[in-house]
Amino acid sequence: MPPKTMFEKIWADHVVAEEPGEPPIIYIDLHLVHEVTSPQAFDGLRDAGRKVRRLDLTVATADHNTPTWDLSLPVTDEISKKQLDALDRNCAEFGVTLYDRFSPLQGIVHIIGPDLGYTQPGKTVVCGDSHTSTHGALGAFAIGIGTSEVEHVLATQTLRAFKPDTMEIRVNGELPRGVTAKDIILAIIGKIGVYGGVGHVIEYTGDAIRALSMDGRMTVCNMSIEAGARAGMIAPDQITFDYLKGRQFAPQGDDFDAAVERWKNLVSDPGAKYDKLVELNAAEIEPHVTWGTTPGMVVPISGEIPNPEDAEDENTKDALTRALQYMDLKAGMAITDIKLDRVFIGACTNARLEDIRAAAEVVKGKKVHDDVYAMMVPGSAKIKQEAEDEGLDKILIEAGVDWRIAGCSMCLGMNPDILKPGERCASTSNRNFEGRQGKGGRTHLVSPAMAAAAAIAGHFVDVRDL
Amino acid sequence: MDAFTKLTGVVAPIDRVNIDTDQIIPAVYLKSIERSGFQDALFSSWRYNADGSDNPDFILNKEGYRNANVLVAGPNFGCGSSREHAPWALRDYGIKCIISTSFADIFYNNCFKNGVLPLVLPPEQVREIMDKAESDPGIELTVDLVAQRVWDESEEISISFEIDAARKDALVNGLDDIGLTLRMGNDIGDYESKHNL
């Protein structure tokens, strides 16, 4: 047998049927559902008189629309409330397990999947959300799908999917102090561009990846979609197994040990061929800051805003010029001269315990700059509790950071947390598209430590200098 | 699902790279629980001024382009989110075909579920259509998926294209994916028993 990549093994293990000239039918082990991309899918089932095939493999939560203020306060946005109510109704009618905004297990869908032990190595995972790529950090094949496909998975527990190509991104060497998983993935996107990964599943390899915690690995895989990739994956290892052990919905006892033995076989065989290879040296990666309106418009903190005149083609020149205009920045400006109005620490990219710890460590004993409003939105109710058990909330609150309840929040501004036109934000989320955090808002993507440092200084600073 | 066979309509050019799903339809419009009615939300940040009036500089507000049925755009169209609201908004506006050199994967898949053809052409052919659409407001293209050809009335543009046979078949026949897969119910059941699922 020729050597296989991890992705090829998982794919081969999930093909239900394959007809010539048709996309293969792939079995789905875990279907995560949220309120935004599911109402029309449930309507479709209802109209056709269909049921959810596997309720035991389907889990729903409310995250995108949920306010991050006190739970005793009502949802004031009537349209958001309607969507949240629709999820309640649909889950009740079809029998789907739902962690609503009051559940202790509620949270951002891509945070709770791994955190509760639902996401496991070797599984196929789908969700009507592009950042489903996050789950690949555990050695799962996890992809975002549209609402029609959500309906297809609900009805059949399978997906008709064309097999993607494979890409290895190898990050060798040791990360310098103060440089994080977020900086690795921003550096990767800076290198391969926002469509460098289109049509491919990325497997991240190399000692810098192996050295990351699970929280860090999830940050890397989360932004695979920002490079255009179908999915991102990291081979499971002892760090993965230690992470999963004892989690509520992971196998328990002897079943866990047996699962670990299976999971160990998932890793790519020596000599397995990928369709593309990209290499980075971790030692050369600095903290990164995006300056423009795609995640690929990114520079190291020591860098400056690029000049469109230096662009290699007209299309790029136009895009850079437009981005400078939208972001109200000038070519040649130092990144550290960019002043901020808001800081958002949260989102499925960076709202796990390690991220909260990193932010707390930076702001401890300091005060948020007078010109800045900073908020920290934990990824789940459980993580919020864990952070509070460690006293991280107190450190953040004393520094002047607003401590919220879990949700997607200002990553995409579907709840009341949005930027006003012209406001500039250091954000640990994953997209800096025009208007992403509110119409006219300006987003700079950074790591939690860099966001926290910017909150104190009122402008970007190199977290390594603190 | 809706079928797509052949379409003749006005082409609107948006010569930008990486047109993301937040531009096609911002998240604030995703709160609807309906499957249609998204036409006014399409490109809303670019299409409307702060006071809600039409931005006269945006292509779909310009004379000749308002009734566009075909869009020609820069590479990596539809990057970003998995929101199917993006093809829904295009379709609801009347845009049933988007021509580019490349599309983001999830957006590309979503189009086929909604009778929208995302047509990949080589850079020089996309440029030819872009230039023609920019210099000749209101020019119509015919996109024939069955014959795999695109042309304008003058035949100055006359392009044959390639497309995956399975995707073409699904779109031309408006196939119901779920119905087709459910016919494989035994295979799914066998898979589940074999894997103790």
Q: How far apart are CA A150 and CA A28, in angstroms?
A: 11
> Is it the case that residue A463 has pLDDT exceeding 90?
yes
What residue has token string 């972001």?
Answer: A327
For residue B82, give the nearest of A43, A129, A439 by CB distance: A129
pLDDT band of residue A466 (cuts 50, 70, 90) is confident
Is residue B44 a contact partner of residue B25, using CB atoms and an 8 Å limit? yes
Classify residue A170 by its DSSP letter: E
> Is it the case that residue A403 has pLDDT exceeding 90?
yes
pLDDT > 70: what percent of chain B?
100
Handedness of CA A9, A10, A14, A19 (dihedral sign): negative
pLDDT band of residue A458 (cuts 50, 70, 90) is very high
Residues on chain A touching B23 (C-beta within 8 angstroms) = 433-435
Tokens of A407: 């949700």
Find the mean pLDDT for residues A170-196. 97
Classify residue A133 by its DSSP letter: G
**Contact between chains at B106 and A439 (C-beta distance less than 8 A):** no
Q: How far apart are CA B4 and CA A375, in angstroms?
A: 47
**Contact between chains at B166 and A21 (C-beta distance less than 8 A):** yes
CB pairs under 8 A between A and B: 171
Find the mean pLDDT for residues A21-43. 96
Q: Classify A122 in phi/psi space as left (phi over 0), alpha (psi -120 to 50) or beta.
A: left
- Identify the residue among A64, A120, A132, A147 best suited for mutation to test binding to B, counting B beta carbons within 10 A and taking the highest: A147
Q: How far apart are CA A345 and CA A374, in angstroms?
A: 8
pLDDT band of residue A19 (cuts 50, 70, 90) is confident
Shortest CA gap A195–chain B (Å): 6
Q: How far apart are CA A344 and CA B173, in angstroms?
A: 47
Q: How far apart are CA A326 and CA A41, in angstroms?
A: 36
pLDDT digits (tens, 9 = 90+) for A320-377: 999 999 999 999 999 999 999 999 999 999 999 999 999 999 999 999 999 999 999 9
**Contact between chains at A21 and B20 (C-beta distance less than 8 A):** no
pLDDT digits (tens, 9 = 90+) for A236-288: 999 999 999 999 999 999 999 999 999 999 999 999 999 999 999 999 999 99
Residues on chain A touching B32 (C-beta within 8 angstroms) = 79, 83
Q: Which amino acid is at A213?
A: S
Handedness of CA A97, A99, A105, A111 (dihedral sign): positive
User: pTM of this prediction?
Assistant: 0.97
What residue has token string 């040649």?
Answer: A332
Closest chain A residue by Cα to residue B78: A228
Closest chain B residue by Cα to residue A433: B22
List Cβ neighbours of A441 (8 Å cut-off, separation of 6 or more): A413, A418, A419, A420, A421, A422, A423, A424, A425, A435
- pLDDT number for residue A22: 86
Collapsing DSSP states into helix, strand and coil, what is residue A393? Answer: helix
pLDDT > 90: what percent of chain A?
98
Closest chain B residue by Cα to residue A29: B197
**Contact between chains at A17 and B1 (C-beta distance less than 8 A):** no
Is residue A336 a contact partner of residue A460, using CB atoms and an 8 Å limit? yes
Is residue A277 a contact partner of residue A168, using CB atoms and an 8 Å limit? yes
Is residue A194 a contact partner of residue A298, using CB atoms and an 8 Å limit? no
Residues on chain B touching A148 (C-beta within 8 angstroms) = 1, 84, 110, 113-114, 177
pLDDT digits (tens, 9 = 90+) for B19-67: 999 999 999 999 999 999 999 999 999 999 999 999 999 999 999 999 9
- Identify the residue among B82, B173, B182 best suited for mutation to test binding to A, counting A beta carbons within 10 A and taking the highest: B82
Total residue count of chain B as it appears in this document: 197
Specify the range with the lowest mean pLDDT, choosing from A19-28, A32-41, A77-86.
A19-28
Is residue A25 a contact partner of residue B184, using CB atoms and an 8 Å limit? yes
Question: Does any CB of chain B come closer than 8 Å to the CB of residue A152?
Answer: yes
Shortest CA gap A173–chain B (Å): 30
- pLDDT number for residue A303: 94
More confident residue, A354 or A312: A354
- pLDDT number for residue B95: 98
Classify residue A222 by its DSSP letter: H
Average pLDDT, chain A: 97
Residues on chain B touching A435 (C-beta within 8 angstroms) = 22-23, 26, 45
> Is it the case that residue A101 has pLDDT exceeding 90?
yes
pLDDT digits (tens, 9 = 90+) for A55-66: 999 999 999 999
Find the mean pLDDT for residues A24-30. 98
**Contact between chains at B32 and A79 (C-beta distance less than 8 A):** yes
Shortest CA gap B195–chain A (Å): 9
For residue B16, give the nearest of A79, A319, A435 by CB distance: A319
Shortest CA gap A391–chain B (Å): 34
> Is it the case that residue A67 has pLDDT exceeding 90?
yes
**Contact between chains at B188 and A156 (C-beta distance less than 8 A):** yes
Average pLDDT, chain B: 97
**Strands (E) located in A20-153:** 25-27, 30-33, 58-61, 97-99, 124-127, 141-144
Collapsing DSSP states into helix, strand and coil, what is residue B78? Answer: coil
Q: How far apart are CA B150 and CA B158, in angstroms?
A: 6
Shortest CA gap A168–chain B (Å): 19
Residues on chain A touching B79 (C-beta within 8 angstroms) = 194-195, 228, 294
pLDDT > 70: what percent of chain A?
100
- pLDDT number for residue A1: 84
**Strands (E) located in A370-465:** 373-376, 402-403, 424-427, 442-445
pLDDT band of residue A20 (cuts 50, 70, 90) is confident
| DSSP string across B100-136 | ES-B-HHHHHHHHTTT-EEEE--HHHHHHHHHHHHHS
- Give the distance, in angstroms, between the CA of residue A286 and the centroid of all CA atoms in the same chain: 21
pLDDT band of residue B16 (cuts 50, 70, 90) is very high
> Is it the case that residue A21 has pLDDT exceeding 90?
no
Specify the range with the lowest mean pLDDT, choosing from A346-360, A440-454, B109-123, B165-179.
B165-179
Q: How distant, in Å, are the alpha carbons of A172, A265, A421, B71, B93 from that of B43? A: 42, 47, 17, 12, 10
- pLDDT number for residue A327: 98
Alpha-carbon dihedral A170, A172, A175, A181, rounded to 10 degrees:
20
Q: How distant, in Å, are the alpha carbons of A140, A212, A222, A263 from that of A207? A: 20, 9, 19, 20
- Identify the residue among A50, A66, A125, A152 best suited for mutation to test binding to B, counting B beta carbons within 10 A and taking the highest: A152
pLDDT digits (tens, 9 = 90+) for A115-165: 999 999 999 999 999 999 999 999 999 999 999 999 999 999 999 999 999
